[in-house]
Amino acid sequence: MKIRAFLRRLAFRTKISLSIIAILLMLGISLSFMISRYVSQALLAENKLRGVSNAVNLSARVVEPLLSIDFLELRNLVDEILKTNRDVAYAFVLDKAGDPLVHTFAGGFPVDLKTANLVQDAETYHNRVLATATDLIDDFAVPVLIAGERVGTVRIGMSRIRVQEVVSRLLWAIFLSIGTG
As a whole number of angstroms, the distance between CA 72 and CA 86 comes to 22
Q: Which of 158, 159, 156, 154 is nearest to 100 (CA)?
A: 154
Mean pLDDT for the stretch of residues 94-106: 92
Kindly report, residue by residue over 143-155, the tens digit of the pLDDT.
999 888 899 999 9
Kindly report, residue by residue over 106-129, the tens digit of the pLDDT.
888 998 888 899 999 889 999 999
pLDDT of 181: 64
| Residue 112: count of CB within 10 angstroms of its CB | 8
Q: Which of 100, 81, 98, 97 is nearest to 89 (CA)?
A: 81
As a whole number of angstroms, the distance between CA 99 and CA 149 comes to 17
Helix 12-61 and helix 161-180, axial crossing angle in degrees, nearest 10: 160
Name the burial class of residue 77, with classes exposed (0-12), middle (13-18) and buried (19+) by CB atoms within 10 angstroms of its CB. Answer: buried
| Residue 76: count of CB within 10 angstroms of its CB | 12
Q: What is the pTM of this model?
A: 0.80
